Chains A and B, each alone.
Chain A
């Protein structure tokens, strides 16, 4: 096994705030609240933390240039080594990966991993922040929006595999239903496939209920080296594999039907974790679902099923909490909310709680020993993957 002779890193505590469209707390306060919870869970105090890693998405949301610097004291980084990583929507899962190398390198024994987003500061609508994610020569003059390009990807995926909207809508139904059991969830709902299909058309084939909301929130994990983790807890959750990958900026030069970059990130993580047969070896997965079709798209990229097969698995109930391969038992971004970096981190926290058997009403039926969290970002080009074991 690849881990031999290398340092093993554990998650020993996690915390998060409510996810809501508008929260009263500032970004700093959200960081602090989630960090306090994670530290309490780990049985540590801030003075025990040797380094801090920040994950937060575009500065344009919070409305502060170099917002990593601005958030530092809220994240507990005062007078500590502090680093911010940023890979667009992939940031949430990438942040604990950065925490992993802080500890795995032997530089630190403990690391606080903080992910925050306060999208509501972007006024009058967070969507404005997305205008400047596009190429200023080829795309911005056309008035391009974020939903345009995701609709282009969704449509291509549907076209290549002959997938119907009804099949995709089931993801939204499942995840919003799962979120009913998540106390921090922003959009828990009992809805039907018809509700999704009858919801407002935003950019065909994307409809209102296909999409996750904009949100404020923070999520935090505490990481520790093996010898520290074993002193502090009887049930650490190990980070056994990490992977990330980026595809070309020229997204109009790629076939959008399949996220090759997610496959490449997953291969990196599986190799490190010694996983040969992902569908058999992964017990529970939190895959990135800002749109319902993305859950299916990403399951395929993660090689949890064959290309074009994810809609059928969803129809058959395989991805339900009591299914063989539970996907997004938390409720995902569609149900819990989507404060970008914090949302990805929430997925990592969910896997932590699932593997510890602490997820309460959300606990998956099968005995979950190995879990996966994944996020997706940039211009439909980034994958970040983390594999955890109890």
Chain B
């Protein structure tokens, strides 16, 4: 089986609002940039197109209908993966691995600013019989999970707050990030407690934007670019949709996805073999929980790492040098590709002010948010 590489990336955003652009125009711009970056013509060269979208984020019943034109996919082989962009990337990887496809494009976007009732839609994802009738703001689930995680691991509130401080500071060096800030642990801890023990500044705000990536098979990738970024391993997993039976302290979905991804990548010792990580930090504590699930440290140890500065940009294991979701915003199904974008730029040496020195291998992880226990992991290398 041949290898698969990312050969092109294109991004628009991320910004809190984008009233001047329709979702189609947003997608067109990102697609143009990605195809230009990869040096491909979508009308001739691309064998399959994947869009990652959920109907209720878009306000359409079958969003797939509204995608082909702006991606150059009219009368071409396009389909929707109803999941985060990282699942789309994994799907493109599988398509190329079949040997029937050489170049596949993957798109994910957020037009969150078009949504007037975000909480109402998240509530609509809850089990209609057991959970939804209980009402309330859906983020109470994050509060419950954080509390259990702190209780099981001894991680402190300060350590969680440090994640927000680090990521918002990293975002200041990222032109794609709109929520960069120079804040202190005290600022975070003194911000409004919204879902005990979760504070306002530990919650990622929504943002708009679009990312398109182009993947290619080994033969084609080496012809298209001098800097292919290889997909070495992929894994994904759904623990369970049931709030009642899931593990509230651990991110089991990421543990299992990471196991699969490391196995395909042939990675035996993630701590030694992974140079940096871009992980889901929709809520500050999630970064810590996910680092542990990715076996980048022992359980209960992630809080110490952030406290000791290990996960800073200049630390031994930089985590979310992009600024993460706390810095770039929660871009709905584009979240996973936000992290892929950062990993690709870092591995190509194109990350500008936030470039990490001498990185060979990075891990990218995503979680599909409340109320899911679904995640994916991808290992990328130079």
Answer whether A and B touch in the complex at a CB cut-off of 8 Å: yes
- Asked if A69 and B368 make an inter-chain contact with CB atoms under 8 angstroms apart, the answer reads yes
Q: Does A227 contact B (CB under 8 A)?
A: no
B368 → A minimal CB distance (Å): 7
Number of interface residues of B (CB under 8 A): 60
List of A residues within 8 angstroms of B83 by Cβ: 68, 83-84
Q: Does B3 contact A (CB under 8 A)?
A: no
A73-94 contact mask (Cβ, 8 Å, vs B): 1 or 0: 1000111111111111000001
Contact of B122 among A65, A78, A107 (CB under 8 A): A65
Contact of B76 among A83, A245, A377 (CB under 8 A): A245
Which among B10-18, B58-66, B170-178, B223-231 touches the partner chain?
Answer: B58-66
Q: Does B337 contact A (CB under 8 A)?
A: no
List of B residues within 8 angstroms of A106 by Cβ: 1, 97
Q: Does B135 contact A (CB under 8 A)?
A: no
- Asked if B82 and A84 make an inter-chain contact with CB atoms under 8 angstroms apart, the answer reads yes
Which among B67-75, B301-309, B320-328, B344-352 touches the partner chain?
Answer: B67-75
Identify whether the interface residues of A are mostly helix, strand, loop, or mixed. mixed
Q: Does A281 contact B (CB under 8 A)?
A: no
List of B residues within 8 angstroms of A130 by Cβ: 61
Q: Does A328 contact B (CB under 8 A)?
A: no
- Asked if B54 and A59 make an inter-chain contact with CB atoms under 8 angstroms apart, the answer reads yes
Q: Does B19 contact A (CB under 8 A)?
A: no
Within 8 A of A (CB), among B356-376: 368, 371-372, 374
List of A residues within 8 angstroms of B79 by Cβ: 85-87, 94, 244, 246
- Asked if A381 and B235 make an inter-chain contact with CB atoms under 8 angstroms apart, the answer reads no
A207 → B minimal CB distance (Å): 25
List of B residues within 8 angstroms of A64 by Cβ: 124-125, 127-128
Which among B87-95, B272-280, B290-298 touches the partner chain?
Answer: B87-95
Indicate the size class of the contact surface on chain A. 35 or more
Contact of B62 among A6, A77, A133 (CB under 8 A): A133
Across the two chains, which residue of chain A brings its CB closest to B80?
Answer: A86
Give Cα A121 to B122, complex, Å. Answer: 19
Q: Does A199 contact B (CB under 8 A)?
A: no
- Asked if B60 and A68 make an inter-chain contact with CB atoms under 8 angstroms apart, the answer reads no
The total number of A-B Cβ pairs within 8 Å is: 185
Give Cα A265 to B77, complex, Å. Answer: 8
- Asked if A248 and B62 make an inter-chain contact with CB atoms under 8 angstroms apart, the answer reads no
Which among A97-105, A158-166, A299-307, A354-362 touches the partner chain?
Answer: A97-105
Q: Does B156 contact A (CB under 8 A)?
A: no
- Asked if B240 and A73 make an inter-chain contact with CB atoms under 8 angstroms apart, the answer reads yes
- Asked if A77 and B238 make an inter-chain contact with CB atoms under 8 angstroms apart, the answer reads yes
Contact of B78 among A72, A102, A135, A246 (CB under 8 A): A246
Q: Does A63 contact B (CB under 8 A)?
A: yes
List of B residues within 8 angstroms of A247 by Cβ: 68, 74-75
List of B residues within 8 angstroms of A381 by Cβ: 65, 68
Contact of B75 among A60, A70, A88, A246 (CB under 8 A): A246
- Asked if A88 and B124 make an inter-chain contact with CB atoms under 8 angstroms apart, the answer reads no
Q: List 13 A-B contacts (CB under 8 A).
A: A59-B56, A66-B56, A69-B368, A79-B238, A80-B237, A81-B238, A84-B81, A86-B62, A101-B91, A107-B94, A244-B79, A245-B75, A247-B74
Which 6 A-B pairs have CB atoms at the shortest separation, nearest pair first?
A: A105-B97, A105-B94, A65-B124, A65-B125, A378-B65, A82-B238
Contacts A86-B81, A105-B93 known; 16 new A-B pairs at CB < 8 A: A2-B100, A58-B61, A59-B55, A81-B260, A83-B87, A84-B83, A87-B79, A88-B65, A94-B79, A104-B97, A107-B234, A133-B61, A244-B79, A249-B67, A261-B75, A378-B65
Chain B residues in the interface with A (C-beta under 8 A): 1, 54-56, 59-62, 64-69, 73-83, 87, 90-91, 93-95, 97-100, 121-122, 124-125, 127-129, 234-242, 252, 256-257, 260, 264, 368, 371-372, 374
